[in-house]
Amino acid sequence: MKQIHIKLDEDIHKRISDLAALEGSSLQEYILSAVCNKFRQSNNQTNQTGKFTFIDLFAGIGGMRLGFEEVGGKCVFTSEWDRFSQKTYLSNFGDMPEGDITKIDAKEIPDHDILVAGFPCQPFSIAGVSKKNSLGRAHGFLDQAQGTLFFDVARIIKEKRPKTFLLENVKNLRTHDKGRTFKIICETLQKLGYSLHIGIHDGKHYVPQHRERIFIVGYDMEVYGGMESFQFPEPTQTPRPIKSILMSEVDDKYTLSDKLWNYLQQYAAKHKANGNGFGFGLVNLEGVSRTLSARYYKDGSEILIPQGEGKNPRRLTPRECARLQGFPDTFKIVVSDTQAYRQFGNSVVVPLITAVAKEMVIAMDQYQTNKILQPLMSV
């Protein structure tokens, strides 16, 4: 990261400091945001290319954006509240995401063809529900911090009426609260006037990781009348083994200490004796891994790489985590290892998103083609 040092007279410094204080940000963060807004304005004026426009909500580090840009889209708005994710996003896309979505006026969001949102999954994930239950805390829509954020997506859809949208979440969303949560989500989207296509897909067909996620694709009934020809992609590639994403040289700091390795083995043995399946995941290098989670930074136990006789297993490096999610090696990692593990664990399988995005665009294009040809064919 580069630094710029500038001199300001006292009056300008005070005015900027006061504005930063009003927004609850530091002076440095305020100036960075202002510079990024200038870049964003410039990009919107000079880069109008793109087959379609889209917005990226709950953007994380931009995994969804990569997939939609790959099939010709132009991102016109981004929202992500986590400051570390914002830093990674800015470094890779040149855009500083807007912050808290609950404070964003939908009217101020640019018009767009496709809305993309990987709204927070912790309230619905198996791990998230278990943890909140153990703490006596609410989950799902009763989780005031995250569960109701779906309705912010809904209010933006209602205001901006994108032609289509893609929502992504954990597989458990469908069965959470005996299916009531998912029923509310679907009914809300249908009442807004969208036909829905729902599928559960595993990232293992695109990367060497077992990662099941639910996808909800919606098309505006006012535009397509429910006649869109969308279909989820059928995997055609043979799954790659996890050894294909491993680095040839890895720092010893990623090797588990004797203390941690002994603890993980004892923990697994204890639960096995009690008939539970909890324990570390030592990877078969010819196969695929378990699901990478945001907690990977804690001990790496769900995905451990064997290193041969006499050496403890190791964690994946952040770059290997990026590869496991299908990010290109050109993607910049500009945060600490702990934050990088969280970011990639919370992200998406980029090639799977690309495949879904491609089918969404094909359906949009096909409908327009049929609409043009239909009058000609009836002559």
Q: Choose the catalytic residue: 75, 121, 186, 321.
A: 121
31 within 8 A of 4, measured Cβ to Cβ: no
Burial class (CB in 10 A: 0-12, 13-18, 19+), 29: middle
Burial track 108-146 (b if 16+ CB lie within 10 A, e otherwise): ebeebbbbbbbbbbbbbbeebbeebeeeeeebbbebeeb
| 120 close to 150: Cβ distance less than 8 angstroms | no
* Nearest residue to 221 (alpha-carbon basis) of 185, 198, 186, 195: 195
- Residue 186's closest CA among 178, 203, 174, 202? 174
Measured distance between the N- and C-terminal CA atoms of the chain, rounded to whole angstroms: 63
- In this structure, what token pair is assigned to residue 372? 């043009």
DSSP 270: H
Residue 325 backbone dihedrals phi, psi, to 5 degrees: -95, 0
Task: Answer yes or no: 75 catalytic.
Answer: no
| Number of separate helices (H) and strands (E) present in the chain | 13, 6
- CA 339 – CA 343 distance, rounded (Å): 6
What residue type is 14 in one-letter code?
A: K
Residue 176 CA to residue 199 CA, distance in Å, equals: 16
Q: Which residues of 219-248 are buried (b: 16+ CB within 10 A; e: fewer)?
A: bbeebbeeebebeebeeeeebebbeebbee
Give the gyration radius of the chain's Cα atoms.
Answer: 23
Q: Which residues are catalytically annotated?
A: 121
